[in-house]
Amino acid sequence: MDPLNRQTLRMAAQAWRLKGKGDSTLHYLQLAEALPVEVTVEGFRPGEHDAVLSAVVSNPRSTASPPLTLTFEFLSAKGEVVATLAQEVAAIAPGANVTLDLKPKGAGIVAWRYKR
């Protein structure tokens, strides 16, 4: 699951609501509302010995976001971590966004994940 994307968290809340699990529904809605920023991955292109990932980090709030570090892991077809990139994101002004262009090196990268 995409941990810093409001839409993804709201879809998880909806799934829990359909299952009749009110506590889980509330949990995911609270997570979505508490996000300091939102991350949207706009593109991922794996290559033979590297990859390219493009993402946008947005601040939908009325106050500046705190600075944070996003750690991107790039995975093989077996789910093993091939490369890791830590991306420092400075405070983002209200309503603004920052574009990330990551170029990890490593053979066999087919997927990605990130965490805060």
Contact in structure between 51 and 44 (CB atoms under 8 Å): yes
Task: Give residue 80's pLDDT.
Answer: 98
Task: Give residue 55's pLDDT.
Answer: 97
**Strand order in 38-46's β-sheet?**
38-46, 51-58, 97-102
Name the phi and psi angles at 65, rounded to 5.
-80, 155
Sites in the chain below the pLDDT cut of 70: none
Give the N- to C-terminal CA distance of the chain in Å, as an integer.
13
pTM metric for this prediction: 0.85
Strands 111-115 and 38-46: unpaired
Please give the full DSSP string across 43-83, using - where no structure is assigned. EEEE-SSBEEEEEEEE--SSSPPPPEEEEEEEE-TTS-EEE
Task: Give residue 4's pLDDT.
Answer: 84
Task: Give residue 2's pLDDT.
Answer: 80
The CA distance from 6 to 114, in Å, is: 15
* Residue ranges of domains in the chain: 1-35, 37-115
37-115 maps to which CATH number?
2.60.40.10
Task: Give residue 116's pLDDT.
Answer: 85
Q: Which residues are 71's β-sheet partners?
A: 86, 115
